[in-house]
Amino acid sequence: MPDSKAVIVANEVKPRLGTGYPAQYADNCKTREKRALGDQFGLNQFGVNLTTLPPGCWSSLRHWHAAEDEFVYVVEGEITLVDDHGEHVLKPGMCAGFKAGSSNGHHLINRTDRIAHYIEVGSRLDDEEVVYSDVDMKLTRRNGGAYVQTRKDGSPLDSR
């Protein structure tokens, strides 16, 4: 567990670059940076990330969570939220949320020529399923283990 710090500088947290998606799905997210802020305090009930999207970068593929709530708050720049209802431009001070179990597939895209930063907050449940709206993929986690990537029917991604 990290030291019991009370205060950190968010931009000094080492970022994770890119995504864990299979190569065929990773290209649009390859320059995304996530700084796991909640981990710096040993938080385990919810996750908090400071995410940076360079111009043209996506936050993820469009997806929805079966069990976990998700919330985003724009800190700097402009990003476009794409969901089942269309496109919504989000500017600093604006936020969006997604209730667990709502099948409204969503993601964020930076369509500007400037870097954008946003905070994302989500539940950290032991059992979760993430369904991807536009590709044949889902992630499943059981008993707090690692996520397993499969096709939506549960078969291995490389089986077809």
The answer to whether residue 23 sits within a structural domain is: yes
Which secondary structure element, helix H or strand E, spans residue 48, and what is its range?
Answer: strand 46-53
CATH code of the domain covering residue 20:
2.60.120.10
Closest CA to 52 of 39, 41, 36, 67: 36
Q: How many domains does the chain have?
A: 1
The answer to whether residue 49 sits within a structural domain is: yes
Residue numbers of the domain that contains 29:
14-126
What pLDDT, on the 0 to 100 scale, is given for residue 160?
43
What pLDDT, on the 0 to 100 scale, is given for residue 159?
46
What pLDDT, on the 0 to 100 scale, is given for residue 32?
98
The answer to whether residue 72 sits within a structural domain is: yes
The answer to whether residue 32 sits within a structural domain is: yes
Residues contacting 52, CB < 8 A, separation 6+ = 15, 32, 33, 34, 35, 115, 116, 117
Phi-psi region of 9 (alpha: psi -120 to 50; beta: other; left: phi over 0): beta
The answer to whether residue 104 sits within a structural domain is: yes
What pLDDT, on the 0 to 100 scale, is given for residue 85?
96
What pLDDT, on the 0 to 100 scale, is given for residue 6?
86
What pLDDT, on the 0 to 100 scale, is given for residue 68?
95
Structure tokens of 118? 């946003």
What pLDDT, on the 0 to 100 scale, is given for residue 73?
98
Q: What are the pLDDT tens digits along the chain (160 aa)?
A: 455 678 999 999 999 999 999 999 999 999 999 999 999 999 999 999 999 999 999 999 999 999 999 999 999 999 999 999 999 999 999 999 999 999 999 999 999 999 999 999 999 999 999 999 999 999 999 998 999 999 999 999 874 4
The answer to whether residue 41 sits within a structural domain is: yes
The arrangement of strands across the sheet holding 138-141 comes to 63-65, 128-132, 138-141, 148-150
The answer to whether residue 136 sits within a structural domain is: no
Q: Are strands 46-53 and 95-98 parallel, antiparallel or unpaired?
A: unpaired
The answer to whether residue 135 sits within a structural domain is: no
What pLDDT, on the 0 to 100 scale, is given for residue 3?
54
DSSP secondary structure letter of residue 25: H
